[in-house]
Amino acid sequence: MSRLDEHGELFNDPRWALALIRATVLEAAHPQIGAALVDHSSFVTHPWRRLRNTFLSTQRMFGPDEEVRRRESARLNRLHARMNGTDAQNRSYSAMDPDARAWVVATMFESAVTMHRLSGQALEQGAMERLYTGFQAFHTALGDDAAFLPPTLHEFWPYYDRVVEEELENTEAMRIILYKLFDHLPAPPLLAGLPTLWGTGRAIAGPVIGAITVASLPESFRRRAGLPETPGAQTLMHSTYLAAGLARFLPGGWVHAQGVADLLALSPESDDPRMRTVTALREQMKRAGALFRLITPVPAQPAPTGGTGTRRSAEEFFQEVLDQTGDGCLDWPDLAAMAREISTRLDLDEPEETRLYNAYADWWRELQAALDTDGDGRVSAQEYAAAAPSLAGPALIRVAEVLFDVTDKDGNQHIDADEYRALFRTAFHRDTVDAAGVYTRSAFVKDFLTFMSGRRRSTPYDPLLTEA
């Protein structure tokens, strides 16, 4: 067992969900990371997708297969190399900055230690040192210089305190996570059809999660960042961590993070065998939702309009499909987020991943030339709606063709059931294949263009690009 896979079970601990939120807040408070999150990440509009991909990446990096770790490390580095720019204070940032990357690892390690302490099971010195060694191995497995993390646990704590005191800021990304994300968190795909129940539960859970997270942050940073602490939050925090710790003693698999993440990601259209049980549960929950509407003042959220094949308005298409980062504008990071999600699902290597990104980059230049009427380098919702364009230009057609190529792993010029499932996580739709049972290049390209340029809702593409 390597120094990495020795700690793999940490990420299936129910307490890790709380620790991961805390680590993410501390990461977002770093000015380099915070700027990259605001400009490039889809965590605001697609938090469940981002969470699942983060979990999958962590499982790969801390798993037993050295080749899987190598490929995942290379993928992460390619992804981060594309994230750079200038923040609101005109400071340059890069997701490949070695100090920032070391801080990500540091927050994960320190939050794991804090997780054990807050749940009444503080790690002994030896266990803490082994855990730190594992995270150092994670850091070097990413290809980073080991010198950017302190060599010993004894030297780690002064480093951690210095960054907290001198470098962290009350960034926009941190404020979004603490005060916006949980208050407006969209339902995961599994619960998307239960807006009343989800809205009611979120109205209660959102502020609680935010208060627990703030209470768990270093006190000095809370004061400096002006983060208010809710009365009783410390007691609530300890109780929540303790309860999450006790969940480890439930029967095996009940709270296994992999199973929970997979279940939440199921689309109602999925052919996964578990959906039969889930569908029955959803029917019971819908009845409960009707009761909630009678006894609670929380307004029901409108359900999505239209079914497969119906058209969206230009405004709906812009918000649900194009604006992947949720900043109200269309620019390169939005299309890069699409390429990133597809690359992650298909686990692409070079050069296929670069081909896909390049195709999306060409489409962005085509869109910018056609729609950016004020020349600010972005396309606003108003510019898009006013033009109401047909987007099926040469660059978008090229995106469709490249997407077919990278999905068609065996290169036989049609997509089989396994290749289709890898991209869409479901079986063939009944109208997908031809009389010979084959999903051809021409049919695939036509379906993609119908979705992207015709703004039509689509059973396979909506879960891929629009669900949270």
Task: For the chain, give every domain's residue range.
Answer: 5-246, 314-465
* CA gap 182, 193 in Å, rounded: 19
pLDDT score, position 300: 46
Question: What is the third-level CATH fold of 314-465?
Answer: Recoverin; domain 1 (1.10.238)
**3-state helix/strand/coil string of 257-284:** HHHHHHHHHCCCCCCCCHHHHHHHHHHH
pLDDT score, position 257: 56
With vertex at residue 46, the alpha carbon angle to CA 247 and CA 22, rounded to the nearest 5 degrees, is 45
* CA gap 6, 242 in Å, rounded: 24
CB atoms within 10 A of CB 66: 12
* CA gap 183, 295 in Å, rounded: 21
In three-state secondary structure terms, 152 is coil
For the chain, first and last CA: distance in Å? 36
The tokens describing 368, both together, are 């910018």
Which residue from 381, 341, 337 is spatially nearest to 42, judged by alpha carbons? Answer: 337
Residue with tokens 């991961």: 20
Which residue from 368, 396, 375 is spatially nearest to 455, judged by alpha carbons? Answer: 396
The answer to whether 183 and 206 are in contact (CB under 8 A) is yes
Which residue from 79, 91, 117 is spatially nearest to 30, judged by alpha carbons? Answer: 91
The tokens describing 197, both together, are 């129940």
- The letter for the amino acid at 307 is G
The answer to whether 10 and 128 are in contact (CB under 8 A) is no
CB-based contacts of 223, cutoff 8 Å, min separation 6: none
pLDDT by residue, tens only, the chain of 468 residues: 456 666 767 887 888 888 999 999 999 999 999 999 999 988 878 887 887 888 889 888 988 899 999 999 999 999 999 999 999 899 999 999 999 999 999 999 999 999 999 998 899 999 999 999 999 999 999 999 999 999 999 999 999 999 999 999 999 999 988 888 777 677 766 666 666 667 777 777 778 888 899 999 999 999 999 998 788 889 989 898 888 877 666 665 555 555 555 555 556 556 666 556 656 555 665 555 554 455 555 444 444 444 556 888 888 889 999 999 989 999 999 999 999 999 999 999 999 999 999 999 999 999 999 899 999 999 999 998 887 655 678 999 999 999 999 999 999 999 999 999 999 988 887 778 887 778 999 999 999 998 888 778 887 888 888 876
The tokens describing 227, both together, are 């983060």
- Side-chain half-sphere CA neighbours of 98 within 13 A: 8
pLDDT score, position 298: 47
pLDDT score, position 307: 54
pLDDT score, position 123: 94
Burial label for 105, CB within 10 Å (0-12, 13-18, 19+), is: buried
Which residue from 396, 462, 463, 408 is spatially nearest to 439, judged by alpha carbons? Answer: 408
* CA gap 417, 410 in Å, rounded: 12
pTM of the model: 0.81
Which residue from 82, 74, 34 is spatially nearest to 338, judged by alpha carbons? Answer: 82
Helix and strand element counts for the chain (H, E): 21, 6
Question: CA distances (Å), 54 to each of 94, 193, 361, in order?
Answer: 19, 25, 24
